[in-house]
Structure 1
């Protein structure tokens, strides 16, 4: 089972694009709410800010789960391990709980970067390793290549995008999915179904969308700077969507709305 499905860690607080005091304030609110999993990346430019925010937070280190991701420009053998050590210095950590590859290389050859990821874990720089933005074919190839288990493939996952192929690959490979863009950067709120279901169960539209993700077997990353929204995003464990409501939401996958397109991210792979 992925570390992200340990109790309390299935809901991570994402930190992109926060920096400085805005990040520190959001992290304080997230910790007060109950978040113990925090997600950052070399490419976010905020690892040092997160490290400072968590340094004196009052929560024991062993209760926290910190994830970071290696940027594409650091995939070179001479840069990879050093870049992870730099991330650890910025985060004020001895080791990461989870280290991910942020993207697959543009040429699609995933083997070298996976070997470097495994090397970083062998050196004790990370307890768990995983990937992000991998296609189903990449997941299958990675499962064949790796000695160590991959604890996640972090991908865009929300009700307006059918990720059935990735879910099937997760089942085949044992590499669980975790989400980003969990409410499609607000696009889900254009669909009355979420508010309608929410009214029936005493929850908000956002909480319904997030609960749907969890019930698909996918861990969640969410970000907000508003304490009330941070708390609401965390408060999704005390209700269950019916199979009928799950199916109604599933149907919205036909919308095929994707936030991270090749137009936005030129090095994105050919998505499933």
Structure 2
């Protein structure tokens, strides 16, 4: 099991787009349910509230796993490390467990930001480092650019989008994938297959989707403000989808439903 899976117990509570009291309350519920891994980012504008929420939890530092991400605007040599230090100040932490590059840099040259990420790791500002929204070729290039282990490539990953190219690259490079938009922002619930499969396991459609992601070897990142949903998203470790049901869900990836397109994020790379 890779270090990212170990640190997050494969399930992370995402904080986007929550802010202020709504975020702190949701984090409190998540911790009561059992979450110990929390994901934020400079781009989300909620690192301070996430730090407040972590303080409210009162959990020992060694029991929690905190991920944040460096905004592309801070990929310059003068901005990178100060921005990470500012993130730590907002989070009230001496280090983050996982520090990610939030996007590939505009222009496509991934080396400078990766080398700065490695510096943050060497300085002890992060226990682990990773990337997000990298293509397969970027993953292959990244492992040649820096020696420090890259513990995650956080990408859009759900059963309505075929990410076999990235999964193959994860195996090739040793960079595990982690998911965002894990239930395709609710789009999966328009497809009856997931509820149909769930009925056979006594699980919801959403739990089936999350379990499928886990069985693909991808850790999950989910967010809700409702206790029932937070609990359901966490309770996905007590059943295993059969190979037949996995194959049925695999077929749904041909739907080709991608949320993060260039229309939504103009600086997105050309996806695999």
Q: TM-score range by the shorter chain?
A: over 0.9
- The match for 1:129 is 129
Q: Output one character per residue of 1:205-253: Cα deviation in whole Å (capped at 9) or x when no partner.
A: 0000000000000000000010110000000000000000000000001
Q: What is the rounded CA distance, in whole Å, between the counterparts of 2:116 and 2:144 in structure 1?
A: 16
> 1:4 deviation in Å?
2.8
Alpha-carbon separation, structure 1, partners of 2:120 and 2:144: 19
Instruction: Give the match for residue 219 of structure 1.
Output: 219
Q: Where in structure 2 are the equivalents of 1:135-174 lying within 5 Å? A: 135-174=135-174
Give the conservation status (yes or no) of the 8 Å contact 1:156–1:181: yes
**In 1, distance between residues paired with 2:56 and 2:251?**
45
Q: Shift of residue 8 of structure 1? A: 5.5
Q: From the superposition, tell whether residues 198 and 9 of structure 1 become closer, same or farther in structure 2 (CA, over 3 Å).
A: same
- Structure-1-length-normalised TM-score: 0.99
Matched-pair contact (CA < 8 Å) for 2:181–2:222: yes
Structure 2, unpaired ranges of 5+? none
Deviation, structure 1 residue 262: 0.4
User: Offset at 1:7?
Assistant: 7.1
Match of 1:57 in 2: 57
* Number of aligned residues: 272
Q: Does 1:188 align with 2:168?
A: no
Alpha carbons 1:4, 1:11 under 8 Å: kept:
no
**Which stretches of structure 1, 4 residues or longer, exceed 3 Å deviation after superposition?**
none
Unaligned runs of 5+ in 1: none
Q: Is the 8 A contact 2:24 2:49 kept in 1?
A: yes
Distance 1:3 1:44 in 2: 25
Which range moves more in the overlay, 6-15 or 154-163? 6-15
Q: Is the 8 A contact 1:3 1:9 kept in 2?
A: no
Deviation at 1:146, TM superposition (A): 1.2
Paired position in structure 1 for 2:234: 234
Structure 1 residue 106: Cα displacement: 1.3
Task: Tell me which residue corresponds to 1:258.
Answer: 258
Q: Deviations over 1:53-94 (max 9, x none)?
A: 111312111010000000000001000000000000000000
Alpha-carbon distance in structure 1 between the residues aligned to 2:28 and 2:54: 8
Find the aligned partners of 1:159 and 1:181 in 2 and give their Cα distance. Answer: 10
Task: Tell me what 1:13 maps to.
Answer: 13
Please, what is the CA RMSD of the aligned residues? 0.8
Q: Distance in 2 between matches of 1:43 and 1:97?
A: 18
The CA deviation string for residues 152-208 of structure 1, in whole angstroms up to 9 with x for no partner, is: 000000000000000000000000000000000000001100000011100000000
Q: Answer whether contact 2:7 2:65 (CA < 8 A) is retained.
A: no
Q: Distance in 2 between the 1:82 and 1:17 partners?
A: 24
- State the match for 2:4 in structure 1: 4
In 2, the alpha carbon distance for the partners of 1:170 and 1:258 equals 20
